[in-house]
Amino acid sequence: GSILIVSGFGIFNILMMIIYEKMQDIAILKAIGYKDRDIRTIFLTESLIIGFFGGVIGLLLGFALQEIVGSIKMDIKGFVAMEHMQFNQSPYFFAFAFVFGMVVTAVAGYLPARKASKIDPVDIIRSK
């Protein structure tokens, strides 16, 4: 869970940098008639696309690492003796991780998207 929240901060930072780099483009879009909602939708969609592909890659890598670590022979003795590391590979855990990651991405993407929608095109174009 905490890794997903940290990745949410990463997505937030990436989108804020994209917004600062694209200020001129956002101002032009607003000057030609794009509404605040349209600008918000563009950047929120971008964050969700980043989150989707990050989630898919994370699930694939997580599953692969479970298989690799689970195949390593270990002699674990303690309360229960095991020959291999055992992981719970329930699809519910994978689905929960993916959905939680998408929610974190949506929340992390909303604030930069809102900031982008509030840009005043006159100020940006005048400053260039």
pLDDT tens for 93-128 read 889 989 988 998 898 888 888 888 888 888 877 776
Mean of all residue pLDDT scores within the chain:
85
Exposure on the CB side of residue 85, measured as CA atoms within 13 A: 10
Q: Which of 114, 105, 95 is nearest to 5 (CA)?
A: 105
Which distant-in-sequence residues (6+ apart) come within 8 Å of 109 by Cβ? 11, 12, 15, 43, 44, 46, 47, 48, 50, 51
Q: Where are the domains of the chain?
A: 2-127
User: Phi and psi at residue 88, in whole multiples of 5°?
Assistant: -85, 110
Distance CA 106, CA 11 (A): 10
Which distant-in-sequence residues (6+ apart) come within 8 Å of 55 by Cβ? 97, 98, 101, 102, 105
For residue 1, name the pLDDT band (cuts at 50, 70, 90). Answer: low
